[in-house]
Amino acid sequence: MTAPTTYLKGSWNVICDVCGRQYKAESLQMRWDGLMVCHGDWEPRQPQDFVRGVADQQAVPWSRPEAADRFIYLQTTLMNIFYSSRTTATIGIRVQYANTSLHELDGRVLNQIALG
């Protein structure tokens, strides 16, 4: 490196954009971000700057609309704990899957497929 205070024909004094020191023009070089820097402040561009993401397929391969709800009504006996009286009522059970097979066991409904 030439001393910046000496005369060199065809050259001029410049200041490094990073460290602020004075150099001759031929000793500076342009960095990837457009700054004119000395040899000590020069660094290559980070290779991770050139990495591009891969598109991720978010859609499912196939789908169908949700089936309409079906309700099964059955007669049951409810017991009121506070008054110890028996009440007969009709309740509705929502069946989520169309192909759910139901079996009756001791007056209760047993579902073979777990709901959601």
In a domain, 105, yes or no: yes
CB 100 within 8 A of CB 111: yes
In a domain, 3, yes or no: yes
In a domain, 55, yes or no: no
CB 99 within 8 A of CB 88: no
- Place 90 in a pLDDT band, splitting at 50, 70 and 90: very low
Q: What angle do CA 39, 45, 51 make, to 5 degrees?
A: 170
In a domain, 59, yes or no: no
In a domain, 83, yes or no: yes
53 contacts: CB under 8 Å, gap ≥ 6: none
Please state whether beta strands 29-30 and 36-37 pair in parallel, antiparallel, or not at all (unpaired): antiparallel
In a domain, 74, yes or no: yes
Question: Would you say residue 26 has pLDDT above 70?
Answer: yes
CA distance 85 to 78: 9
**Averaged confidence pLDDT in the chain:** 74
Q: Tell me, what's the pLDDT at 104?
A: 45
Domains in the chain, number: 2
Average pLDDT (62-78) is 77
Domain that holds residue 94: 70-111
In a domain, 65, yes or no: no
In a domain, 64, yes or no: no
